[in-house]
Structure 1
Amino acid sequence: MPRGAGFKTSANPPKPKTAKQSKTNRGLDELKGQARRRDNDTCVVCGVYVGKGGNVHHRRNRGMGGSRAANVISNLIVACGSPTDGCHGLLTAKPWELDAEWNGWVLPTNGNQNPAEVPVLVAWLGWALPLSDGSWRVLDAREVAS
């Protein structure tokens, strides 16, 4: 066998995950799965079915307010596309084009709002609050106006 055959080489091989990192990723993966089930693998913004290919978007970015606070079910929504295209791309790069803060898809960077208390405009439900049990509570017009 020629030298190096069957082996991938890399200048920067991946670092092995520590037990703490694996547990954190596993917890986030579980939350993302819960968000996908809650949202029926459908983009909250435009209502298109994305299947398992849809991305889960953090309404408050993980870098804005700490990763622990960002990894809660009320902070996650399914969005079509990737962080560079589709609704997810717009939410990430150009949130103003979708009035993303106004519609609850993106939370302000000041970090003062609890995601569970900020209504989200859900394509197939209207205005709703994301609950900690992984469901939506649909709001009536009086609740949205207040």
Structure 2
Amino acid sequence: MVCLVSRSGRELQRYNNMGFRQVTCIPYRYKEAVNGNMRNELEVLVVSSQKCQKLMFPKGGWELDESIEEAACRESLEEAGVVEAQLGEWRFISKRHGTYYEGHMFPLFVKEQLDLWPEKHVRRRLWMSVGMKPKKFVSIDG
């Protein structure tokens, strides 16, 4: 059973001496062939932003009561409705607040895609072949 309510608020957010800490997941799978076998074609899952229809990877805050890996998995579940290794680290300046953020990015191999998830009513999701770029893809700091 999956909780159908997203976490909200900033009371449990982790901050470092420079600002907000954020996690991002890159959900991926191998495309299924017509006969049900896996092909070698890799697909990634992107979701629409809540504020506009631009597409991005699931991302959000890392909270005090969870590990960084748990935060990444939670964000993928809340924003993209997918269920299950650190890819790298990035830093950026927010366009809205001019604030420093620290981010961690994880690849997430999708084992299940849910029909109902916490943010289904505010986001759409799209599987894309690697190498295909949508017209409205938002950068990681968008």
TM-score normalised by the chain length of structure 1 = 0.28
Compare the two structures and name the one with the higher strand fraction. 2
Rg bigger for which structure?
1
Larger RCO (alpha carbons 8 Å, 6+ apart): 2
Compare the two structures and name the one with the higher helix fraction. 1
